[in-house]
Structure formats: structure tokens, C-alpha cells
Amino acid sequence: MESISLNLVMLGPPGAGKGTQADRLAKAKGIPKVSTGDMLREAVKAETELGLRAKAIMESGQLVSDDVIIGVVRERLAKPDAQRGFILDGFPRTVAQAQALDTLMVGRPPLVVIDIAVPEDELVQRLTSRLVCEDCGTNAEGVPLSASLTTRCLKCGGRLKQRSDDNETVVLERLKVYRRDTQPLVDYYRSRPTFRTVNGAQAMERVFADLAEAVDSAASGGALGGVR
């Protein structure tokens, strides 16, 4: 099973837990997680040309232009470590990006697409109360904002902080952009036999179990047109 390549797209609103779950699944499957949000944040930190272009856009909750982000993803998926599969987190976010991704998949196994669904009031609560590691970007699960100075990242020991786009104003804008530009992707993908929905409003362990099961069923049965 693990030798068959898996080309996975994690869909879902900001705060659905895509990144956390994608990290874990990427390790289990031995394929890279490709997070456009992480790549952009690294570019901002390194002050590359891409980072300088993206910074203000990200801080206002808007999307980086399709051309730019499609170019970034095309280059990343062409690297050797992505030839055996990948988990995309945060891409595609528009129909134009999804169409571009389809053209990149010619000659590869079909995309498996998992939509992680979470009600909007819970998303606002999660995003405005979360801390992330300043160094590796990992979410600090279960650490309240008030403990930001007394707790360190479990993975790398880095300092914890609030992401600059996790304040309420920008969160509401990101959700608006999600509804307008990204939610239509559910309809774009829904009719494919490799599409599944997972309930993201459960404990992390349960979400992971449901996700793993959905991926396996979609990757085996789905690719053959199986029902489920």
C-alpha cells in the first residue's frame, strides 16, 4: 500500500486543522507535506522577492495572486521528493488554482481530495485563541494565550506567539475570502470518486482516524471507481 503514490489535497476553511493533520499523515505515509502558507511565511521571514510581495497581502487576509502561487507549487511538486506523492495544505484555494493543479497531475495517479468540515463559529474561536511556534510554525495544541511566555514548542523548543493574521478582524476577512473563493472548490471536486468529507469538529485523534480511513478508501476504491 505505502509504495503506491498518494497525491492528496486537504481542503477546508482556515482553522479546520488541515496543517496539523497533514503533518501527521505525511509522516505516516512517508511523503512531503506541501503547505503554501508555510512556504509563504518562510519567504516573508527570509525577505525574498516572493516574501516581500506576499507580506501585506497575507496580513490583510487576502490571497496571493494565482499566477504567483501556482508557480511556487509547480516548482515544489517537480522536486524529487514529491514524485512518490505529496499532501497539499492550503492549495488549491481558487478554481483557477485547482484547474492548474489538474494539468500538473497529467500522468500521475488521480488526486485524492479530503474536505475537513468545521462550523464557522468554532473556526473563529480556534484561530483567535491559538499559539504557533515562532521557529517551526507548529500549532501549540491546548496552550492558552496567557501561557505564551511560559511555554515552549514541544517539537523544537521555539518561542510561542500569535500568528499576525490570527486577530479577529483578519480572521473574519480570511473566512469571507474562504467562502467566496475556496468553498466553490467543494463543488469542483465533489463528483469525483476520490472525494471525501471528514468531520473536523471532533477531537484531533478522531479526526486523524477518520482522515486516514477516508484517504485509504478514496485511494483504493475511489481510483477504481468504487462506491462509498
- Least spacing, CB of residue 217 vs ligand ADP, in Å: 25
CA 221/CA 201 separation, integer angstroms: 26
Q: For Zn ion, give the closer residue by CB, 34 or 133.
A: 133
Q: Which helix (DSSP H) or strand (DSSP E) does residue 214 occupy?
A: helix 204-220
Binding mask 145-164 vs Zn ion (x if CB under 5 A, - otherwise)?
A: --------x-xx-x------
- Least spacing, CB of residue 160 vs Zn ion, in Å: 8
In the annotation, is 93 catalytic?
A: yes
Residue among 91, 72, 74, 120 nearest 181 (CA): 91
The single residue of 18, 33, 41, 76 carrying the catalytic annotation is 18
CA 73/CA 52 separation, integer angstroms: 18
CA 160/CA 68 separation, integer angstroms: 30
Using the 8-state DSSP alphabet, how is residue 115 labeled? E
CA distances from 170 to 57, 118, 142, 184 (A): 11, 18, 22, 21
Binding mask 161-200 vs ligand ADP (x if CB under 6 A, - otherwise)?
A: -------------x--------------------------
**Secondary structure (3-state) at 6:** strand
In the annotation, is 155 catalytic?
A: no
Task: Report the residue closest to ligand ADP, judged by CB.
Answer: 37
CA 19/CA 11 separation, integer angstroms: 10
Q: Which residues are catalytic?
A: 18, 93, 130, 163, 174
**Which residues would be at the binding site for ligand ADP (CB under 6 A)?**
14, 36-37, 40, 57-58, 61-64, 69, 90-91, 93, 97, 174
**Which residues would be at the binding site for Zn ion (CB under 5 A)?**
133, 135-136, 138, 153, 155-156, 158
